[in-house]
Amino acid sequence: MTGTRPMVDIMFGDFLFLIMDQLANQAAKQHYMSGGKLKVPMIVRTNLGATRRSAAQHSQSLHAMVAHIPGLKVAIPSTPYEAKGLLKTAIRDNNPVVFFEDKLSYQMKGQVPENEYLIPFGKANIIRQGSDITLIACSSMVQVIEAAAEQLAEQGLSAEVIDIRTIVPLDEQTLVESVKKTSRVIIVDEGHQSFGITSEISSRLAEKAFYYLDAPIIRIGAMDVPIPFSPALEDLTVPNVQTVVEKAQRLISGEYDHAA
């Protein structure tokens, strides 16, 4: 509020609970409470994601929690290229932005241009065009749905793959238009299944594209349990490629049963 543009680093996303008063009751609301006179151009950079053997207090994906707070923007890159472009946009934004990076993605390598480029907020990325089903995700789950789309292609099934990039603002139009085209959709997210990103996107698609759907909207999220420390159990809690492929096959064939 004094004119600087700070970037605050929170080592684990789980620790957001420790700063929620400052973030949700102060940073997110100052512009509104001051009648637009004050701005809080701040970035809170943190992470999300399980399967890193960090146990229940260091493995949560809490992006839905901050997305629920009006006044905060939420960006979630899926690749090194996306990380640079979205972060540079966040730095220039006059609103507080929570910037989530997946822990597993820190090992990812990719081409990143040295020249200046920005990726706009609220503009999803259609990574792969398809006609049979739409697969929607963010963060490391983008790699999961990309791999699933490859497997489906080997079976002659065409999946459209979309990286939402930012959940606030959300590019609702791109998602709706894709579902209108394919008539089937699976939404994948590493946050817990209940009351999360998959629920919000599903709701919007049901409101805007219901009469174009030929099958139920399917959500695949993390189990509603604290993340286990046991590697064998931890791997079972988060979405995987095979689950996406199997559910997509059943949706496209018309055999999907919600009880299955």
Q: What is the 3-state secondary structure (H, E, C) of 90-150?
A: HHHCCCCEEEEEEHHHHHCCCCCCCCCCCCCCCCCEEEECCCCEEEEECCCHHHHHHHHHH
- Give the distance from CA 46 to its chain's centroid: 14
Q: Are 24 and 101 found together in one domain? A: yes
Pair 247, 148: CB distance under 8 Å: no
Q: Are 57 and 168 found together in one domain? A: no
Q: What is the pLDDT of residue 260?
A: 47
What is the chain's pLDDT, residue by residue, as a tens digit (260 residues)?
A: 999 999 999 999 999 999 999 999 999 999 999 999 999 999 999 999 988 888 888 989 999 999 999 999 999 999 999 999 999 999 999 999 999 999 988 999 999 999 999 999 999 999 999 999 999 999 999 999 999 999 999 999 999 999 999 999 999 999 999 999 999 999 999 999 999 999 999 999 999 999 999 999 999 999 999 999 998 998 899 999 999 999 999 999 988 655 44
pTM value?
0.94
Domain count within the chain: 2
In a domain, 258, yes or no: no
- Give the distance from CA 234 to its chain's centroid: 20
Q: Are 195 and 142 found together in one domain? A: yes
Q: List the domain range (segments joined by +) for residue 172.
A: 125-253
Secondary-structure breakdown of the chain: helix, strand, coil percentages, each rounded to the nearest 5: 40, 20, 40
Q: Are 79 and 188 found together in one domain? A: no
Q: What is the pLDDT of residue 104?
A: 86
Q: What is the pLDDT of residue 257?
A: 58
In a domain, 117, yes or no: no
- DSSP states of 164-226 as a string? --EEES--HHHHHHHHHHHS-EEEEEEEESTTSHHHHHHHHHHHHHGGG-SS--EEEEE-SSP
Q: Are 102 and 153 found together in one domain? A: no
Pair 22, 66: CB distance under 8 Å: no
Q: Are 87 and 171 found together in one domain? A: no
Q: Are 74 and 153 found together in one domain? A: no
The closest of 51, 30, 48 to 39, measured between CA atoms, is 30
pLDDT tens digit sequence for 140-192: 999 999 999 999 999 999 999 999 999 999 999 999 999 999 999 999 999 99
Measured on CA atoms in the order 150, 155, 160, 164, is the torsion positive or negative?
Answer: negative
